[in-house]
Amino acid sequence: MGALITKLKKSDFAEKITLMVAMVILVIVFTYMNPNYATSANMTNILVACSLAGFVAIGETMLIIANQNDLSAGSVAACAGVVAALLTQLGVPALVSIAIAVLLGCVVGAVNASLVTFLKLQPFIATLATMSVVRGFAYILCGGKAVAVSDKTFRMVGSYKVFGIISLPIVLLLIAFVVLGLVLAKTHFGRSIYVLGGNGYAARLAGLNPTSITFKLHILQSGLAAFAGVLLAARMNSGQPSACVGLEFDAITAAVLGGTAFTGGIGTIFGTFLGMLLLQGFNTGLNMIGVQIFWQEVAQGTLLVIALAFDYYRKRMRDKKLLAESMETRGIKIPKLSK
Amino acid sequence: MGNSVEFRNISKIFPGVKALDDISFKAESGQVYAFLGENGAGKSTLLKILNGDYQPDGGQYLINDMPIRFQTPKEALAHGVSVIYQERQILLDMTVAENVFLGDWPKGKFGEIDFEAMNQKTKEIATNFGLDIEPDMKVGMLSIAHQQMVEIMKAVVRDSKIIAFDEPTASLSDKEIDILFEIIERLKQEGKVIFYVSHRMNEIAQIAQKVIVFKDGTLVDVVDQATTSEDELIRLMVGRSLGDIFNGLPHNETFEEVLLEVDEMLTPYVNKVSFKIHKGEILGFAGLVGSGRTETMNALFGLNPMYSGKIILEGEEIRPKSPAEALEYGFAMVPEDRKMQGILPNISVRGNITISMLKKLINKIGFIKNGEEEIAQEMIQQLNIKTPNSDKLILQLSGGNQQKVILARWLKTNPKVLVLDEPTKGIDVGAKSEFYRIITECAQKGMAVIVISSELPEIIGISDRILVMREGRISGELLRKDFSEEQILKYAMASPDSEAV
């Protein structure tokens, strides 16, 4: 237990606690306004809502840590949903359809990475372009109309209850969080991501291959986005070309809320998990207390600003702590300022 | 007339370094004050406090006996403080006049920029300085020296009382330096307080009346230029004679096995460079900044493309295309710019040490195995890195210890060829002598060590052989028995009689 506490302290315990406290306050406030908020049915709803943006938030976190970004995730998700639905209509087995849709997502990721590494485009601009292109294809492929899903296996993917209680997308999301959290924290690849985001040039000189890391990250991210899109299509029983607008927005908000620094090099998957819960809890709450949809958009934007302001504040605190510790390490007293 | 600048007990702290420690002095008009000190002694930090870029963490800063506390360079500028940097702060696509009045353009009746008045005033100043500069020329069209003059005109137009020059002559020709000195002399007579930072002793002798000597963030002494010898100045600056440090370093006497051979290497930056290095040898690369030393190593390391030529390592021709490949072949490079090229800022000391050999430490599915901590501890012990534990961020260590961490990173890859680019830049004398010991130990163990250094005593002290580069070529080779500063400088500088081709 003692070891666990020291370990928690190391991993920016205070930050995580702040997030958890924020969540508790959120639950209390919303429950006060609508008693149905704190029911297990609603909590499950929140988790289900997470299962869409959650996958993307994982990839987005890793990208932001490496000083990258992806705005095309929502389009990729929608397009993958449409593709998978169309394939099942053509009689392709459900799992094969899903695999193809995810693979196509990976191709988009590779394109994003190519634009960023070979054309040296800013990730924001490069993925802004693919966002538009891929969304266009989503509409073109289905002629602008939603594609109904009749394949039983495919529907099952979205609605199957593991042990008869938890729906499959939630389980898959939790697995993704754990596995990719470990990858980021414990593997050579994970370490490379932090190193690349902290100082890209030094990383290259140290013998890492930034191009390869960037490719892997974008391919992973777009693959995750496509998978999330397929799950949504399965849940909704249709692939909709207009789905998932602003999905990347939710993902970025969750990552930043969870402590990922926009300047790169800092962040954890667990933090993003907490950020995601907070965000979806907030969104669901707004819905339940009957806030008009337009005002919800305003609230979400405001939340992102708050998260970024929090990010700035954290950076200042970190710098301050670093300075103080550094002085302590070297036995230097900070002199008093005379006015 | 009668301006003054005074610092009282000024301190400035950065993570890992006390950049300025209790600096006190007063400077008055009619004198040129030279700042002298090694890299990292605190000269630039003090200039940045002078112009409001940094705020001191302690002490007082007075101008004309009034306590001052600038928050931004703009405030300092408004109070008549201008610092003219080596890297010119000018916009090449704007005209001379626009640059001279940058951000403070004279306005007409409707708030539009009054180009006529601006150009006229600029012309006046230029004429006054005896400069043939047209106000409406794009600054990018001017020579480097004239661009620097534009900076000085900026200071004049703002009626600056205090003007500091940071290594202003680094890229000027002798004739251009004369023009600069004439202008400085004139500014001095107009009653400005002048600060002048330079490494060049002869310039300091020529222009300065007082010399302020810095060492490791402290002010050693303020002396009269006229009555202090150059030797005395160096002693004040370095603290002790470097000769003591180099004596007693072990050197291999004979070299048999050629480890690395570079044959007629041609890259965008170096011209048909050829050299050999043996096992256990320390090969020094001397030359001016920009002579092609770093660029040669960058090509070896796969950072710069190589058009033609051969790299032969242990008898086999190789062609590394990236640092990762060079690492595989057994090259290691401690880069020149520690902060930009070496440090991984958000990672622990441990992670910084192990990053380049981490691949050897992973299991089948990519997870990092145990043992990372042991490796970090081993190197911390071996190189005497001063850190409470390996969890500390590298930024929390002092410059010398940061550099040791980077060196540890490379030593752990068991390199055959170790390249050190300005390895002791900005670290204190104590840490320097430790570095020299480590470098010679590496050679004793059979590594081929290449040291690039601009400090002549250093390169003479540790090398077994020295190659001098000039303008992308190797211009001379010296064996240990023939080492002398004069000879190295002769090879490093372009001399008219040697250019007869």
Q: What is the C-alpha to C-alpha distance for residues A76 and A72, in angstroms, rounded to an integer? A: 6
Give me the pLDDT at residue B153, please: 85
Residues of chain B with pLDDT > 90, as a percent, come to 37
Give me the pLDDT at residue A281, please: 92
Q: Map residue B442 onto helix, strand or coil.
A: helix
Out of A187, A198, A336, closest to residue B345 by CB: A198
pLDDT digit string, tens, across residues B64-91: 999 988 888 888 888 889 888 766 678 8
Taking alpha carbons only, the member of B390, B402, B298 closest to residue B343 is: B402
Residue A308 pLDDT exceeds 50: yes
Q: What are the beta bridge partners of residue A143?
A: none
Q: What is the C-alpha to C-alpha distance for residues A245 and A72, in angstroms, rounded to an integer? A: 10
Residue A310 pLDDT exceeds 90: no
Most confident of A37-41, A191-195, A287-291, B92-96: A191-195
The radius of gyration computed from the CA coordinates of chain A, to the nearest angstrom, equals 21
**CA torsion B319→B321→B323→B328, rounded to 10°?**
-50
Residue A201 pLDDT exceeds 80: yes
Q: Do B343 and A189 touch (CB under 8 A)?
A: no
pLDDT digit string, tens, across residues A248-273: 999 999 999 998 988 889 999 999 99
Higher pLDDT among residues A54 and B424, named by residue: A54
Q: Do A201 and B341 touch (CB under 8 A)?
A: yes
Q: Do B58 and A195 touch (CB under 8 A)?
A: no
Give me the pLDDT at residue B331, please: 95
Residue A145: CB atoms within 10 A of its CB come to 11
**Considering only alpha carbons, which residue of chain B is nearest residue A266?**
B346
pLDDT digit string, tens, across residues A98-133: 999 999 999 999 999 999 999 999 999 999 999 999
CA distances from B320 to A37, A250, B112, B198, B421 (A): 61, 43, 57, 39, 19
Residues 6+ apart with CB under 8 A from B202: none
Mean per-residue pLDDT for B14-42? Answer: 84
pLDDT digit string, tens, across residues B87-111: 667 888 888 888 888 877 888 788 8
Residue B499 pLDDT exceeds 50: no
Q: Do A322 and B60 touch (CB under 8 A)?
A: no
Give me the pLDDT at residue A146, please: 92
Out of A188, A203, A338, closest to residue B59 by CB: A338
**Considering only alpha carbons, which residue of chain A is nearest residue B325?**
A207
Mean per-residue pLDDT for B172-199? Answer: 85
**CA torsion A320→A326→A332→A337, rounded to 10°?**
-10
| Interface with A, mutate which of B6, B49, B216, B344 (most A CBs under 10 A) | B344
Residue A316 pLDDT exceeds 50: yes
Q: Do A325 and B13 touch (CB under 8 A)?
A: no
Give me the pLDDT at residue B26, please: 93
Q: What is the C-alpha to C-alpha distance for residues A20 and A26, in angstroms, rounded to an integer? A: 10
Helices (H) and strands (E) in chain A, counts: 14, 4
The answer to whether residue B15 neighbours chain A at the CB level (below 8 Å) is yes
Give me the pLDDT at residue B87, please: 67
Give me the pLDDT at residue B44, please: 83
Give me the pLDDT at residue B351, please: 93
pLDDT digit string, tens, across residues A57-111: 999 999 999 999 999 999 999 999 999 999 999 999 999 999 999 999 999 999 9
Higher pLDDT among residues B234 and B305, named by residue: B305
The answer to whether residue B323 neighbours chain A at the CB level (below 8 Å) is yes
Mean per-residue pLDDT for A289-299? Answer: 89
Higher pLDDT among residues B254 and B17, named by residue: B254
Q: How confident is the model at residue B500 (pLDDT cuts 50, 70, 90)?
A: very low
Mean per-residue pLDDT for B299-319? Answer: 92
Residue B242 pLDDT exceeds 60: no
Mean per-residue pLDDT for A37-47? Answer: 88
Give me the pLDDT at residue B497, please: 47
**Considering only alpha carbons, which residue of chain B is nearest residue A264?**
B346
Element spanning A61, H or E = helix A40-65
Give me the pLDDT at residue B485, please: 82
Q: What are the beta bridge partners of residue B467?
A: B285, B477
Mean pLDDT of chain B: 86
Give me the pLDDT at residue A172, please: 94
Residues of chain A with pLDDT > 70, as a percent, come to 92
pLDDT digit string, tens, across residues B411-437: 999 999 999 999 987 676 677 888 899
Q: A179 to chain B, minimum CA–CA distance in Å?
A: 12
| Interface with A, mutate which of B12, B348, B355 (most A CBs under 10 A) | B355
Q: What are the beta bridge partners of residue B11?
A: B58
Mean per-residue pLDDT for B271-297? Answer: 91
Q: What is the C-alpha to C-alpha distance for residues B390 and B376, in angstroms, rounded to an integer? A: 7
pLDDT digit string, tens, across residues B453-466: 988 888 999 999 99
Is the ipTM here above 0.85?
Answer: no
Mean per-residue pLDDT for A214-227? Answer: 97
Residue B1 pLDDT exceeds 70: no
Helix-, strand-, coil-residue percentages of chain B, each rounded to 5 = 35, 25, 40
Interface of A with B (CB under 8 A): 10, 182-183, 186-189, 191, 194-195, 197-199, 201-209, 265-266, 319, 322-323, 325-327, 329-330, 332, 334-339
Mean pLDDT of chain A: 89
DSSP state of B340: I
Mean per-residue pLDDT for A295-305? Answer: 90
Give me the pLDDT at residue A318, please: 78
Higher pLDDT among residues A317 and B120, named by residue: B120
Minimum mean pLDDT among B42-46, B56-60, B88-92: which range?
B88-92
Minimum mean pLDDT among A130-144, A230-244, B160-174, B199-213: which range?
B160-174
Pairing state of beta strands B210-215 and B32-36?
parallel
Give me the pLDDT at residue B13, please: 84
Give me the pLDDT at residue A333, please: 56
Mean per-residue pLDDT for B145-163? Answer: 84
Q: How confident is the model at residue A339 (pLDDT cuts 50, 70, 90)?
A: very low
Q: What is the C-alpha to C-alpha distance for residues B341 and A204, in angstroms, rounded to an integer? A: 9
Give me the pLDDT at residue A267, please: 92
**pTM above 0.90?**
no
Which residues 39-68 of chain B have a CB within 8 Å of chain A?
Answer: 56-60, 67
Higher pLDDT among residues B456 and B408, named by residue: B408
